Amino acid sequence: KAGVTQTPRYLIKTRGQQVTLSCSPISGHRSVSWYQQTPGQGLQFLFEYFSETQRNKGNFPGRFSGRQFSNSRSEMNVSTLELGDSALYLCASSLERRGQDIQYFGAGTRLSVL
């Protein structure tokens, strides 16, 4: 069974640009969550999508958005990039187990904003 796939693995952008990251969940998983990881802040929750609907949202500005398609694949978009957006962006898909979600992570997309 294939794992969570994130593309691209690395990305370099300049301030003011926008970027779109992609995530393909494990087959059969319907929940996809996105996290931002920086050395100083650890793993910060961005949002979660379930059946094409945003189910939960973290405390990030509106420049961060996402969507989920009918095949559960998800994309996140960051507009008007800032230097502080440089981070590893992780996607995780969920399989419910005993009523509690276990998250399976992709390898991440490392975004550098210059």
Partner 1 sequence: GQQLNQNPQSMFIQEGEDVSMNCTSSSIFNTWLWYKQDPGEGPVLLIALYKAGELTSNGRLTAQFGITRKDSFLNISASIPSDVGIYFCDGGTYKYIFGTGTRLKVLA
User: What residues make contact with partner 1 under the rule CB under 8 A?
Assistant: 4, 6, 33, 35, 42-43, 45, 48, 56, 58, 90, 92, 94, 97-98, 100-108
**Cis amide bond preceding 39, omega within 30:** no
Amino acid at 13: K
Name the minimum Å distance from CB 15 to partner 1: 25
Q: Closest CB to partner 1 among 58 and 65?
A: 58
Name the minimum Å distance from CB 33 to partner 1: 7
From start to end of 15-86, where are the E strands? 19-24, 31-38, 42-50, 53-57, 64-68, 74-78
Main-chain dihedrals φ then ψ at residue 111, nearest 5 degrees: -105, 125
Q: Closest CB to partner 1 among 53 and 70?
A: 53
Name the minimum Å distance from CB 69 to partner 1: 21
DSSP lists the bridge partners of residue 94 as 31, 103
Name the minimum Å distance from CB 99 to partner 1: 9
Q: Closest CB to partner 1 among 15 and 57?
A: 57
Who's near 16: CB < 8 A, 6+ residues apart?
80, 81
